């Protein structure tokens, strides 16, 4: 049987999980693929470090370049994280004619365009199933399963930490800070949680999916990102009373240009949104991820599973290793190209032009004429109100006023809310959360 010798760069959560999964299911994979995967070397920062996954000391080295240069190694797994050394690792592997499997979404987000071009130039391949949504094989879905479709919509709950926090806030009535502290204690959130709770991790993943779905490279700077730090228990409860659940969504929407057949731009954004309780994404709870993909031929498809963690990520990496092993066995370097740019004029829709429905919460003085002033500002901006709710039982200097708003552009809403926020009767900055109906 043919053998593929694998060099792992990094053996922490992901690399260790991959090593362990190969020990566990390597023989099964060999029987299915007709190729034996063998871990030949493992580069780490500190060979003396105690490791949860035991690795033979003879395999360990601190010199990652020696792993790439080893002529017996024909496939590299980059599981070190970061964007600087990892970029060099991937490029150096390509220069040696070796394909790379990675789980590194930050690396792809920052340097994906360069790395995919380099893979093509050197006749190698870059496999990255584990970079988005852990155990859910979403890259394979977009690259292969739905290749005959134009992707019109993609909605993803792709950050387990945020979904865990929002789920517990809803189900237990807990506050953001309290749940975040708990998530950190349980290891679901990093000590420095900004990458997750400010939405950037979800943006890395959403950008990768958008690029793949639409065939042009989406620059991370073009992605509109809002995290979940400003979501309060009050908004979760009001949303619940209205029949909605708040979720952090990665959104990729094709928006056809009016009167120009075939011409379109793509909304690529990450923000918390009100999702109807009746929609399947509304009931995805805890650390789980889910992605809804709508194709013009297939219609709606849904993918659900663990978005991170050692085993889920290892499962995704094994799938890439299988593809890479088969490519090597068949002598094909790019049976499925990592990313094929095919839209020369692809454009990201600026957030100001994005049309949405909205939930708005105002803190107002409860006296006659206040609502009239607010509706006058919205009316002048041609923004329609679908309902107004002044919840009972709130007394004091200011009371909450909830407005549900019909479709409007983000730019119009921002402008109108700027004016409303300046009214003497409005006592705090207006809260605006978009409403997603998945139309």
Ligand X SMILES: NC(=O)c1ccc[n+]([C@@H]2O[C@H](COP(=O)([O-])OP(=O)(O)OC[C@H]3O[C@@H](n4cnc5c(N)ncnc54)[C@H](OP(=O)(O)O)[C@@H]3O)[C@@H](O)[C@H]2O)c1
Per CB under 6 A, 289 contacts ligand X: no
- Which of 59, 73, 79, 141 touches ligand X by CB under 6 A? 79
- Under the binding rule (CB under 6 A), the answer on residue 291 touching ligand X is no
Say if strands 244-256 and 288-295 run parallel, antiparallel, or are unpaired. unpaired
Q: Does 134 bind ligand X (CB under 6 A)?
A: yes
Beta carbons of 134 and 305 less than 8 angstroms apart: yes
The answer to the question of residue 200 lying near ligand X (CB under 6 A) is no
| 11 touches ligand X (CB under 6 A) | yes
* Chain residue whose CB lies nearest ligand X: 12
Residue in 295, 328, 3 with CA at minimum distance from that of residue 145: 295
Q: Quick one: tokens of 314? A: 């290892």
Is 205 designated active site? yes
Segment interacting with ligand X (CB under 6 A) among 75-83, 180-188, 220-228, 242-250: 75-83
Is the CB of 13 or the CB of 120 nearer to ligand X? 13
Which tokens belong to 118?
């380099």
93-114 burial: b if 16+ Cβ within 10 Å, else e: bbeeebbbbbbbbbbbbbbbbe
The answer to whether 13 contacts ligand X (rule: CB under 6 A) is yes
308 binds ligand X (CB under 6 A): yes
- Rounded Cα gap, residues 424 and 398, in angstroms: 12
Counting Cβ atoms within 10 Å, is residue 39 exposed (0-12), middle (13-18) or buried (19+)?
A: buried
Among the residue ranges 23-31, 98-106, 265-273, 410-418, the one whose residues contact ligand X (CB under 6 A): 98-106
The reply on whether position 12 binds ligand X by CB under 6 A is yes
DSSP state of 272: E
Minimum CB distance to ligand X, residue 207 (Å): 14
Which of 64/94 has CB closer to ligand X?
64
Q: Which of 98, 205, 247, 253 is catalytic?
A: 205
Binding of ligand X by 192 (CB under 6 A): no
- Contacts (Cβ under 8 Å, ≥6 apart) of 399: 363, 364, 365, 366, 390
> Footprint of ligand X on residues 37-56 (CB under 6 A)?
43-46, 49
In the 8-state DSSP scheme, what is residue 349?
Answer: P
Cα(343)–Cα(312) distance, integer angstroms: 32
* DSSP 8-class letter at 429: P
Supply the residues annotated as catalytic: 205
Interface residues toward ligand X, by CB under 6 A: 10-15, 43-46, 49, 64, 79-81, 85, 103-106, 130, 134, 308-309, 313
């Amino acid at each position: 049987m043919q053998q593929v010798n694998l060099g792992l760069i990094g053996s922490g959560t992901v690399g260790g999980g991959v090593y362990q999964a190969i020990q566990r299911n390597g023989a099964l994979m060999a029987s299915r693929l007709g190729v034996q995967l063998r871990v030949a070397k493992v580069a780490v920062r500190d060979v003396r470090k105690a490791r949860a996954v035991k690795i033979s000391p003879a395999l360990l080295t601190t010199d990652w370049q020696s792993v790439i240069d080893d002529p017996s190694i024909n496939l590299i797994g980059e599981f070190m994280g970061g964007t600087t050394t990892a970029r060099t690792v991937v490029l150096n592997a390509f220069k040696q004619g070796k394909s790379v499997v990675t789980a590194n979404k930050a690396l792809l987000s920052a340097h994906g365009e360069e790395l995919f071009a380099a893979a093509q130039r050197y006749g190698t391949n870059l496999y990255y199933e584990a970079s988005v949504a852990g155990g859910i094989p979403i890259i394979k879905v977009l690259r292969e399963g739905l290749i005959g479709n134009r992707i019109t919509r993609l909605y993803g709950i792709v950050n387990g930490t945020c979904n865990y926090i929002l789920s517990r806030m809803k189900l237990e009535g807990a506050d953001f800070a309290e749940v975040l502290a708990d998530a950190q204690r349980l290891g679901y959130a990093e000590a420095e949680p900004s990458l997750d709770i400010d939405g950037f991790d979800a943006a890395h993943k959403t950008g990768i999916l958008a690029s793949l779905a639409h065939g042009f490279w989406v620059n991370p700077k073009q992605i509109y990102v809002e995290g979940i730090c400003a979501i309060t228990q009050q908004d979760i409860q009001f949303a619940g009373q209205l029949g909605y659940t708040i979720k952090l969504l990665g959104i990729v929407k094709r928006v056809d240009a009016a009167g120009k057949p075939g011409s379109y731009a793509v909304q690529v954004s990450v923000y918390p949104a009100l999702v109807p309780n009746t929609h399947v994404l509304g009931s995805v709870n805890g650390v789980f991820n889910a992605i809804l993909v709508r194709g013009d031929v297939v219609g709606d498809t849904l993918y659900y599973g663990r978005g991170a963690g050692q085993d889920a990520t290892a499962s995704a990496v094994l799938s890439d290793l299988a593809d890479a092993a088969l490519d090597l066995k068949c002598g094909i370097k790019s049976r499925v190209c990592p990313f094929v740019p095919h839209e020369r004029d692809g454009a990201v829709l600026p957030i100001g032009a994005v049309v949405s429905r909205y939930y708005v919460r105002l803190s107002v003085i409860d006296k006659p004429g206040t609502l009239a002033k607010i509706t006058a500002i919205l009316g002048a901006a041609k923004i329609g109100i679908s309902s107004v709710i002044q919840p009972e039982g709130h007394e004091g200097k200011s009371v909450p006023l909830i407005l549900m708003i019909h479709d409007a552009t983000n730019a119009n809403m921002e402008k109108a809310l700027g004016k409303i926020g300046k009214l003497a009767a409005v006592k705090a900055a207006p809260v605006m959360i978009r409403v997603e109906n998945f139309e």
